[in-house]
A and B are shown apart, each in its own frame.
Chain A
Amino acid sequence: GESVGLHLPTLSVQEGDNSIINCAYSNSASDYFIWYKQESGKGPQFIIDIRSNMDKRQGQRVTVLLNKTVKHLSLQIAATQPGDSAVYFCAENGEDSGYALNFGKGTSLLVTP
């Protein structure tokens, strides 16, 4: 069935390095994508979003890239900090799902000093 998934369950990076978290989606009707950060004991926190008519969007230290040809989404975090350690989820919604979000399984990012 249609799904949103992540390539890697865990990612360990050194403080100061750049991080890249990847996500694959299979619903070609998806037109909106969101990255969330979830810290232990907290709810998903909005990081950045991108619409399907764009292929790149930048925020503060974060960049989301969308490749619709291969149905791939990535989150780049520049100069990763210890406070970036969390689980990161991609989520999508499109015509088929109304405005309900379909979440991926999550990637755990661990930043080591």
Chain B
Amino acid sequence: EPEVTQTPSHQVTQMGQEVILRCVPISNHLYFYWYRQILGQKVEFLVSFYNNEISEKSEIFDDQFSVERPDGSNFTLKIRSTKLEDSAMYFCASREWTGNQPQHFGDGTRLSIL
């Protein structure tokens, strides 16, 4: 069964450093998402991406965040200058087409900011 893959599984970064989290969505999917989950809390939406542009973003997704689809298979989340409060699990998800379809999630990247 096709799946969303994320790398790395765990990223440790010094505060203030840039970090890039990588995702390979399911190959025939058109809509891509990033979510985060702070330890013990619910999953929170960050951003959605379609047709090479951001279609929706939350208040969390400020100027320090950016997303990119550099080629036909990868989808990345960049945090420009990390803060302690960016420590969380970051999940990538993808969806096949528009309308009410389930989003399929990867297993996440645990980001630890020191």
Decide yes or no whether A41 CB sits under 8 A from chain B. yes
A98 cross-chain contacts in B, Cβ below 8 A: 48, 55-56
Query: Residues of A within 8 Å of B, CB-based: how many?
Result: 25
State in angstroms the CA–CA spacing of A102 and B42 once bound together. Answer: 9
User: A41, A43, A49, A51: which contacts B105 (Cβ < 8 A)?
Assistant: A43
Which B58-94 residues have a C-beta within 8 angstroms of A? 58, 91
Task: Assess whether A44 is in contact with B48, with CB atoms less than 8 Å apart.
Answer: no
Contact A100 B45 (CB under 8 A): yes
B44 at the interface (CB under 8 A from A): yes
Number of B interface residues in the complex (CB < 8 A): 25
Whether B41 sits at the interface, judged by CB under 8 Å, is yes
A100 touches B48 (CB 8 A): yes
Cβ A32 vs Cβ B100 within 8 A: yes
Proximity string of chain A (28-53) to chain B, C-beta cutoff 8 Å, 1 when within and 0 when not: 00011010100001111110010100
CB proximity of B32 to chain A, nearest CB, Å: 11
Q: Which of A41, A51, A100 contacts B100 (CB under 8 A)?
A: A51
B42 and A104 contact, CB distance less than 8 A:
yes
Render B26-57 as a binary contact track against A, CB cut-off 8 A, 1 for contact.
00000101010000011111001000000110
Q: Which residue of B lies closest to A100 (CB)?
A: B45
Q: Is the CB of B45 within 8 A of A43?
A: no
Q: In the complex the two chains form, is A44's CB within 8 Å of B100's CB?
A: no
In the bound complex, how far is the Cα of B100 from the Cα of A61, in angstroms? 23
Pick the contact of A105: B33, B41, B100 (CB < 8 A): B41
What residues of B have a CB within 8 angstroms of the CB of A99 in the complex?
Answer: 31, 48, 55-56, 95, 98
- B103 at interface (Cβ–Cβ under 8 A)? yes
A49, B100: Cβ atoms closer than 8 Å? yes
Contacts of A106 in B (CB 8 A): 42
List 16 additional contacts besides A43-B6, A105-B41; criterion CB under 8 Å: A34-B102, A42-B107, A43-B4, A43-B108, A44-B43, A44-B105, A45-B105, A49-B102, A98-B48, A98-B56, A99-B48, A99-B56, A99-B95, A100-B56, A102-B45, A103-B42
Chain A interfacial positions (CB closer than 8 Å to B) = 31-32, 34, 36, 41-46, 49, 51, 89, 91, 93, 97-106
